[in-house]
Amino acid sequence: VTLMTTHAGAADPLPSWNEGATRTAIIEFVEKVTTEGSADFVPLEKRIATFDNDGCLWLEYPMYTQLLFAFDRIKELAPQHPEWKTTQPFKALLEGDMKTVGASGMKGLMEIVIASHSGMTATEFDKQVTEWLVKTKQARFNRPYNELIYQPQVELLEYLRANGFKTFIVSGGGIAFMRPFTEEAYGIPPEQVVGSMIESEFQIKDGKAEIVRMPKIHFIDDKAGKPVGIYNHIGHRPILACGNSDSDMQMIQYTMAGDGPRMGLFVHHTDAEREYAYDRKSHVGTLDKALDLADANGWTIIDMKQDWKTVFPPK
């Protein structure tokens, strides 16, 4: 593995980041941990960086993309489930009554997610996600969701990898929903994606050995679940972690509590013009306590409007 380091005169590794304290803090951190002989030097195998996905690497507002996928799948599956015509929250969803769907709360949404994410082989589910991403466009930006990724973050991931970091996603979203697109979108292969999981089973189906997805939650990779997901999947404490909401606080705390240099980052959505502005009162990606605790804990807040030259990749 050849490591590219940023020398004076080298190409800007973060062209979509504005000059300022945030960009400087990131570059100083990376230079510090990669300078051999320095007291802050971190050996290659410990350069682990973890990133949340929704609202950190791609759009999450006004509704988590995976939920939109689940809603569309339920509509497609409806002919095979006549019972949904009379069962909530499926009935409301099929009738387009999103208010009732919303009122069904986390319990109702979980039923929709489980019904749309189980009962098929792993291979089939992968194909359903891939096809949905190709055919579905986000209304406001008129682009597929896997193009509504944050260009500055893609550059940050590449910059970290160029400096010997291994980059992981650690998301509350479904691991199997993310894996079909993370390699192409972020350069992160399936085996470096950590996320929530439903139960699955090994079965011989039509004579072929397959994984079949079951209608039961196995692990929720959110809040205090994130450090657990990191321990189970990665087995190291990261030295850099980035999130965008209070659900990422435990991951950032876990990251910052190790020895040696550490960096904890939160993306703050401050840009209603180019993307969305939301934080303390938002129903998705609530960023409240983390804003209050950032200074005292040495967490770095990325101000989308100030720090990012562009938001999405060019069309």
CB of 96 to a copy of itself, least distance (A): 34
Binding partner of 52, given a copy of itself, Ca ion, none, CB within 5-8 angstroms per partner class: Ca ion
For 27: left if phi > 0, alpha if psi spans -120 to 50, otherwise beta; the answer is: alpha
Number of residues that bind Ca ion (CB under 5 A): 5
Closest CA to 126 of 64, 200, 225: 200
Contact 86, 301 (CB under 8 A): no
Dihedral sign, Cα of residue 152, residue 154, residue 158, residue 160: positive
Cα of first residue to Cα of last residue in the chain, in angstroms, is 32
Backbone angles phi, psi at 300, to 5 degrees: -100, 125
In the bound state with Ca ion, the residue whose beta carbon lies nearer, of 104 and 286, is 286
Q: Which stretch binds Ca ion (CB under 5 A): 21-29, 79-87, 159-167, 240-248?
A: 240-248
Q: Which stretch binds a copy of itself (CB under 8 A): 23-31, 226-234, 265-273, 282-290?
A: 226-234
Question: Under rule CB under 5 A, which residues in 170-189 are in contact with Ca ion?
Answer: none
Closest CA to 27 of 42, 36, 37, 17: 17
155 binds Ca ion (CB under 5 A): no
In the bound state with Ca ion, the residue whose beta carbon lies nearer, of 3 and 224, is 224
In the bound state with Ca ion, the residue whose beta carbon lies nearer, of 97 and 303, is 303
In the bound state with Ca ion, the residue whose beta carbon lies nearer, of 74 and 246, is 246
Q: How far apart are CA 182 and CA 161, in angstroms?
A: 15
- Helix then strand then coil, in percent of the chain rounded to 5, is 45, 20, 35
210 binds a copy of itself (CB under 8 A): yes
In the complex, the residues that contact Ca ion under the rule CB under 5 A are 52, 54-55, 244-245
In the complex, the residues that contact a copy of itself under the rule CB under 8 A are 1, 45, 48, 122, 166, 168, 175-176, 179, 183, 189-193, 197, 200-202, 204, 208-211, 218, 224-228, 231-236, 250, 253-254, 256-257
